[in-house]
Each structure stands twice: as structure tokens, then as C-alpha cells.
């Protein structure tokens, strides 16, 4: 089914849903030893469910089928249809569909649009979502039409001031048309090489990367669009915060390791980015001629183990060049350590074993589903 988005019309969320604030529970004050009810918080993964907690005396959970929206934090706008009864943590809104035609599939359709609009129009400490969600937050939806293709108008103007009616059936049918096959892999766990980390050797970041480049943008500098990624201090979604219009003066080249050097909750993590993107000033991108998706994923995973050393108060950027990590070192055919007399990579002459790193990632389950650049 084709999505003719140019013909869609805007609808306010508060006309589609009964919107209220959630429970505002503090996670650390709830009983996690008796996992009975989902607790939805401001996270972007696991359908927004942070943990299961015990029932709270006198408080009935919200029913399954309601929609949750994170109103703040790094994952502002994370929106999900809940599959089971739930409570919510702080700063999460709950939206109850106003009519039975708004099925699980229809709400899932709308949830994706809420996430998109939130990423492109709202941000913390500026244009806050919680001041707009019950007033002027709108999403564009397909509209009901007559047999001649012209819009059907509701004289009561229940859904919009113009009289448009959302095409519930189209949204339902579209979601049902999205067939997918489970991701498969031919790789087996027993085929994965032994890491033997006790034999790895130390390497300094400034020697591993010939260039460490700061990000150039903040969100206020971006234009709405869908041409490239905006990457920043976000540990999930490979650091992608939203999509934006390409601006050559702000672009960062891909095939690099993205070091998150600032941001509470994400500082100290690293990601591999294969394509060109716009980066925030909270990140630093590292370049090495040996990088490809396999080696990039290996390095990013190793660097992310450094995360406990840094915080919002202890920035990584100050220490990045001197950060030392251990990596597998290249060896001679007899198993002894290969030493490079140019000392390019370390003062001891160790050389990172790029081929081992690539082979290791390729051998992991689903490693055969990755593709190289080109």
C-alpha cells in the first residue's frame, strides 16, 4: 500500500485521545522484588517498559491498549502502544483512544508519527513537549474519502475544525500489510573465536586514530528534513537523535567511531557510524583507514566499556586522546607477538590485529547479515 502523505491532513492529538498524566511514580520507591506490573518510563526501548514492579495499594494500572508518551529526557517523544496493564514513572503521558475504531494497529500507526513529530519539532529545555501535547500537538493522517475520491466532511467537526475524519480503516489495513520475515543467521555460537582478552595489548586513542574531529551542530541550527541523521549524546539508536536536512557546512564524514563525550546517561559510550551525518558538539568522531562496519563495531564495543570512568561531571573529551584500551595484537605465524619497528601504533611496537577483529564480528550470530561499505 502506498502512503500518499501529501494528501494527509492534520489532527490534534487531544481530539484523537483523552490525554492525562501518568502515575508519576519514582522507580526507586516501588517494589521490584515482586514483578507483577510493567512500569513505563522515559526510555526508547522495550516498548517503553523499564521494569516490572509490584502492585501499588489503591492504584489500578492503566489498561493495555493505551498509548504512552515520554514528555522529557533524552528520549522525549518516545511513544508506544502498551501490550499489558502498566504504571508510569515521572513525566510520562497516557493517551486513551476516543473510539473503538482506534485499534492497536491504528494506535501503532499514530505512535510512529508522534515519535517523528517529537524528534523534529520538540526538545528539552526549549520547546517542551509537555506544554503542547494537550493543546497544539498535531499529526497528519490519511482522511476518509467519498467514492469519487473527494474528502468526506463531518458537519459536526468532531475530529478537526475543517471536518476531516481520519481514515481508520486505511491505517488498520496498512499496518496489517507490513509483512516481515524473522531475521536469520547461518552462524553458530561454536564458530566464534576465543577472545583471549588476557593476551590483548594496550593502545592509546591518539595513536589509533589519525584524526579526532568535533561535532559541529546543535539542534537550533538544523532545518526540518529527512536527508541525513543528526547524531549526538544518545546511547541507543546508534546515537541518532532525529533526521534533518543536509547542510554541507555541518556534515561529518561517516566510517568513523563516534565518541559520546558529554550528556548525562550516555557520556562514555561509543558507536560506529557508516554514513555521513550531522553531529552535535557533544561528540567526537575518530578516523582510521582500517575501519569498516565489522572493525567499527568491535572497537565501539571495547570503547563503551570505558563508560564507568566518565560522567556528566567528568567529561570524556578532556581525556579522550589519552584513553587507553586493550585490543588483540597482530601475531607471527608461530604465535609470537609481531613487532613493528616503525612504532606507529604503540611505543612497544604492537600492531592491532584488524583481521582478527573483523573475523570475530563476522563469526558472531547475525554477523553474516552485516554488509561492508561500498
pLDDT at site 134: 94
Report domain extents, the chain: 5-177, 196-369
Report the percentage of the chain scoring pLDDT > 90.
70
- Please indicate whether residue 125 or residue 250 has the higher confidence score (pLDDT): 250
Q: What's the CATH code, domain 5-177?
A: 3.90.220.20
Asked if 323 contacts 315 with a C-beta cutoff of 8 angstroms, the reply is no
Question: Over 70: is that where the pLDDT of 120 sits?
Answer: yes
Most confident listed range (84-98, 234-248, 359-373): 84-98
pLDDT at site 124: 62
pLDDT average, residue stretch 92-117: 96
pLDDT at site 287: 98
Q: What is the C-alpha to C-alpha distance for residues 261 and 271, in angstroms, rounded to an integer? A: 12
pLDDT average, residue stretch 250-274: 91
Fold agreement between 5-177 and 196-369: yes
Asked if 307 contacts 340 with a C-beta cutoff of 8 angstroms, the reply is no
Asked if 196 contacts 327 with a C-beta cutoff of 8 angstroms, the reply is no
Question: Over 60: is that where the pLDDT of 372 sits?
Answer: no
Question: Over 50: is that where the pLDDT of 374 sits?
Answer: no
Residues in a beta bridge with 166: 143
Sheet holding 17-21, edge to edge: 17-21, 92-97, 67-70, 79-81
Asked if 322 contacts 204 with a C-beta cutoff of 8 angstroms, the reply is yes
Whether pTM > 0.75 for this model: the answer is no
Question: Over 70: is that where the pLDDT of 313 sits?
Answer: no
Q: What is the tens place of the pLDDT at every residue in 2-60?
A: 788 999 999 999 999 999 999 999 988 999 888 899 999 988 888 999 889 999 999 99
Q: What is the tens place of the pLDDT at every residue in 142-187?
A: 999 999 999 999 999 999 999 999 999 999 999 999 877 777 888 8
How many CB atoms neighbour CB 346 within 10 A?
20
Residues in a beta bridge with 10: 140
Report the percentage of the chain scoring pLDDT > 70.
96
Q: Across all residues in the chain, what is the average pLDDT?
A: 91
pLDDT at site 188: 82
Asked if 326 contacts 346 with a C-beta cutoff of 8 angstroms, the reply is no
Q: What's the CATH code, domain 196-369?
A: 3.90.220.20
> Cα dist. 90→50, 124, 229 in Å?
12, 15, 29
pLDDT at site 262: 85
Amino acid at each position: 500500500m502506498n502512503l500518499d502523505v501529501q494528501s494527509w491532513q492534520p489532527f490534534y492529538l487531544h481530539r484523537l485521545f483523552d490525554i492525562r498524566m501518568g502515575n508519576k511514580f519514582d522507580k526507586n520507591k516501588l517494589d521490584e522484588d515482586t514483578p507483577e506490573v510493567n512500569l513505563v518510563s522515559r526510555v526508547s526501548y522495550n516498548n517503553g517498559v523499564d521494569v516490572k514492579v509490584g502492585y501499588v495499594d489503591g492504584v489500578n494500572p492503566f489498561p493495555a491498549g493505551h498509548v504512552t508518551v515520554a514528555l522529557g529526557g533524552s528520549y522525549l517523544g518516545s511513544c508506544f502502544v502498551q501490550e499489558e496493564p502498566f504504571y508510569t514513572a515521572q513525566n510520562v503521558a497516557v493517551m486513551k483512544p476516543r473510539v473503538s475504531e482506534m485499534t492497536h494497529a491504528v494506535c501503532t500507526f499514530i505512535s510512529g508519527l508522534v515519535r517523528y513529530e517529537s524528534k523534529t519539532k520538540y526538545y528539552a529545555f526549549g520547546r517542551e513537549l509537555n506544554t503542547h501535547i494537550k493543546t497544539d500537538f498535531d499529526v497528519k493522517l490519511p482522511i476518509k474519502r467519498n467514492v469519487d475520491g473527494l474528502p468526506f466532511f463531518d458537519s459536526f467537526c468532531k475530529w478537526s475544525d475543517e471536518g476531516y475524519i481520519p481514515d481508520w480503516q486505511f491505517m488498520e489495513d496498512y499496518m496489517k500489510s507490513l509483512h516481515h520475515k524473522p531475521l536469520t543467521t547461518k552462524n553458530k555460537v561454536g564458530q566464534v573465536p576465543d577472545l583471549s582478552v588476557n593476551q590483548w595489548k594496550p593502545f592509546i586513542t591518539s595513536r589509533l586514530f589519525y584524526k579526532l574531529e568535533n561535532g559541529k551542530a546543535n539542534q537550533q541550527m538544523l532545518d526540518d528534513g529527512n536527508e541525513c541523521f543528526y547524531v549526538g549524546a544518545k546511547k541507543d539508536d546508534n546515537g541518532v537523535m532525529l533526521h534533518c536536512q543536509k547542510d554541507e557546512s555541518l556534515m561529518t564524514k561517516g566510517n568513523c567511531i563516534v565518541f559520546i563525550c558529554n550528556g548525562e546517561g550516555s557520556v562514555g559510550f561509543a558507536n560506529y557510524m557508516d554514513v555521513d551525518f550531522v553531529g552535535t558538539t557533544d561528540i567526537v568522531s575518530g578516523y582510521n583507514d582500517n575501519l569498516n562496519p565489522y572493525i567499527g563495531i568491535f572497537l565501539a564495543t571495547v570503547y563503551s566499556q570505558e563508560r564507568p570512568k566518565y560522567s556528566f561531571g567528568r567529561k570524556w573529551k578532556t581525556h579522550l586522546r589519552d584513553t587507553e584500551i586493550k585490543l588483540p595484537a597482530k601475531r607471527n605465524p608461530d604465535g609470537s607477538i609481531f613487532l613493528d619497528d616503525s612504532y606507529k601504533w604503540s611505543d612497544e611496537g604492537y600492531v592491532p590485529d584488524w583481521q582478527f577483529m573483523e573475523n570475530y564480528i563476522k563469526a558472531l550470530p547475525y554477523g553474516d547479515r552485516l554488509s561492508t561499505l561500498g
